[in-house]
Amino acid sequence: MDETAQKIAQYIAFSTFEDLSPGAVSSARRSTLDTIGAMLAGSNAPGIETIVDLATGWGGTEEATLIGFERKLPVHSAVWCNGSMARALEIDDCVDFLPVHPSASAVPALLALAQLRKNISGKEFITALAIGQDLIIRLGLAVRKNAIQSGRNNLFKIFGPTAAVARALRLDPSKVQHALGIAFSHAVGDGQCALDGALSLRLQQGIVAQGSLISGLLAEKEFTGAKEFLLGRWGYLKVWEPNPRLQYLTEYLKKRFYGEQITIKPFSSCRATHPAIDLALRLSKKHELDPASIRHIKVRTSPEIHNLVATPHETKIRPESAGTAQFSIQYTVAAAIMRHDMFLAELDPKIYRDTRILDLASRIKVEPDPTFRTGSVLGRTVVEIDTEKIGIISAEIESPLGSPECPLSFEECAEKLRKCAQFAVRPPNDKTIEKITERIARLEELEDVSSLIVDLG
């Protein structure tokens, strides 16, 4: 038998709130606040209306809130839409040392389940989310080559939110294994959609959120899945990720929670662009830069980051869509300098086609440097700005804003939620946002987590 799968199933089934570290609890709380904000803003993102129209047209029992639309849908439809919204604008949480998004599917799935069952407490919710976050990161560490290096998108992302759902359903170890095995049938992912700026990138997260919820509910009813889903002859790691580092999956379970290392993103773009944006904003503020005085900007980063968000140069300096703008160091740095931020407003077509920003973007050169590789996916980044008035100014960074080393506080996350809410299809009022923030601040005290979003539906 697959002993690794068995140990993981026992960990999921038997972990309690008291087992969690304070850091894991804090991270889960911030991720919940952050993901609700991502869903609200994502409700108005390109492609989401199409998904919502399809789901609404299918009809069915009103069970779970469609975030941002003030209506309810059957739980499987709502979670499909909400999961897609959570990733739609690249503002959901992530991990700096892996190309992994731990919460974009788990939070929508858990919120939908909470509305379906009305019996999930705040402590149960936090425990489930923290376990799901921990597992998805452990799987990312077990894989020898990450998705940016191999091009094999993270099919394993289905297992994290499924673990969260299984724990919230209080499944025993055997049923947990079946839930994860069923989830293997829902595994999806391709990296090409990110390179092409395709809408299917956000859709994947919705499919995963839906698949994880369905997998847990099926396992609860004795439906079976592959119990040796990881290391069986045709299990995930055997077929897709040879020679895995299995120690990451089972070492220090209940003692080390990788969710402590989750990053909350301050900017609405691929995390790989954030070090350069952070440096550009710091230098601009420190030296009170006049954008008109900038001759050239040089950004030096690792080859992997260069390949993901800096090339081909002509495409990156003139993005054709919000998606391509988010995956461009040249555009995001230029927009940040010109507008003093790189958030949702900077994804408006009028802004990413602004000739002043594009002119500055054309003067930004990104150079790959193998020596800038580190243990983090982001590596090191250096920004040099050549100005007419003060010459060359530069700065270097390894841990940009939002990282565990430079984290956003809960109040900063709340401010991000307020910013996100303004972009929803139907923006909630300030009173509603404050209610949500206050409830999440004391999340472990809630008897019924469905109250978190009752005012949004």
pLDDT at res. 436: 96
Entry pTM:
0.93
Mean pLDDT value across residues 37-62: 97
Mean pLDDT value across residues 443-451: 95
Q: What count of other Cβ atoms lies within 10 Å of the Cβ of residue 99?
A: 22
- Please write the tens of the pLDDT for every residue from 278-331: 999 999 999 999 999 999 999 999 999 999 999 999 999 999 988 889 999 999
Q: Give CA separation, 373 vs 97, 235, 298, 305, in Å.
A: 11, 32, 18, 9
Residue % of the chain over a pLDDT of 90: 89
Mean pLDDT value across residues 48-67: 97
- Please write the tens of the pLDDT for every residue from 148-196: 778 778 899 999 999 999 999 999 999 999 999 999 999 988 888 877 7
Number of H helices and E strands in the chain, helices first, is: 22, 8
- Please write the tens of the pLDDT for every residue from 33-45: 999 999 999 999 9
Work out the pLDDT band at 18, boundaries 50, 70, 90. Answer: very high
Higher pLDDT, 99 or 366: 366
Give the DSSP letter string of 75-142: HHHHHHHHHHHHHHTS-S-EETTBS--SSTTHHHHHHHHHHHHS---HHHHHHHHHHHHHHHHHHHHH
The segment(s) of the chain belonging to CATH 3.30.1330.120 are: 271-397
3-266+406-456: in CATH 2.60.40.10: no
Residue 73, helix vs strand vs coil? strand
Please determine, for residue 78, whether its predicted confidence score (pLDDT) is greater than 90: yes
Angle at 53 (CA atoms; ends 125, 110), nearest 5 degrees: 5
Please determine, for residue 457, whether its predicted confidence score (pLDDT) is greater than 80: no
- Please write the tens of the pLDDT for every residue from 228-260: 999 999 999 999 998 999 999 999 999 999 999
Please determine, for residue 386, whether its predicted confidence score (pLDDT) is greater than 80: yes
pLDDT at res. 154: 87
Write down the residue that tokens 């990788």 correspond to.
258
pLDDT at res. 318: 96
Residue 46, helix vs strand vs coil? coil
pLDDT at res. 214: 98
Give the DSSP letter string of 337-397: HHHS--SGGGGSHHHHT-HHHHHHHTTEEEEE-GGG--SSSS--EEEEEEETTTEEEEEEE
Q: Which residues pair with 72 in a beta bridge?
A: 65
The segment(s) of the chain belonging to CATH 1.10.4100.10 are: 3-266+406-456
Please determine, for residue 90, whether its predicted confidence score (pLDDT) is greater than 80: yes
pLDDT at res. 454: 81
In single-letter form, the type of residue at position 384 comes to E
- Please write the tens of the pLDDT for every residue from 121-150: 999 999 999 999 999 999 999 998 888 778
Which helix (DSSP H) or strand (DSSP E) does residue 64 occupy?
strand 64-66
- Please write the tens of the pLDDT for every residue from 353-364: 999 999 999 999
Prior bond to 428 cis, omega within 30? Answer: no
- Please write the tens of the pLDDT for every residue from 276-285: 999 999 999 9
pLDDT at res. 99: 87
Mean pLDDT value across residues 391-396: 97
Q: How far is C-alpha 451 from the geometric centre of its chain's CA atoms?
A: 23
Mean confidence (pLDDT) of the chain: 95
Least confident stretch, 21-30, 103-112, 237-246? 237-246
Identify whether the C-beta of residue 326 lies closer than 8 Å to the C-beta of residue 335. no
Domain 271-397 - what CATH class? alpha beta
